[in-house]
Amino acid sequence: MVRLPRVCLCCKSLFDSAWAGERVCLRCKGTTAWRNGGSVAASNFGQSASRSGRKGSS
Ligand SMILES: [Zn+2]
Q: What is the DSSP string of 8-30?
A: -TTT--EEE-SSTT--S-HHHHH
pLDDT for 22 equals 85
Cα three-residue angle 40-44-49, rounded to 5 degrees = 150
For the chain, the 3-state helix, strand and coil shares in percent, each to the nearest 5, are: 50, 10, 40
Distance (Å) from CA 44 to ligand 1 centroid: 25
Distance (Å) from CA 38 to ligand 1 centroid: 17
Distance (Å) from CA 21 to ligand 1 centroid: 14
Between 15 and 20, the more confident residue is: 15
pLDDT for 30 equals 86
Q: How would residue 14 be classed by pLDDT, with cut points 50, 70 and 90? A: very high
Distance (Å) from CA 50 to ligand 1 centroid: 33
pLDDT higher than 90, residue 41: no
pLDDT higher than 90, residue 36: no
Average pLDDT over residues 20-29: 86
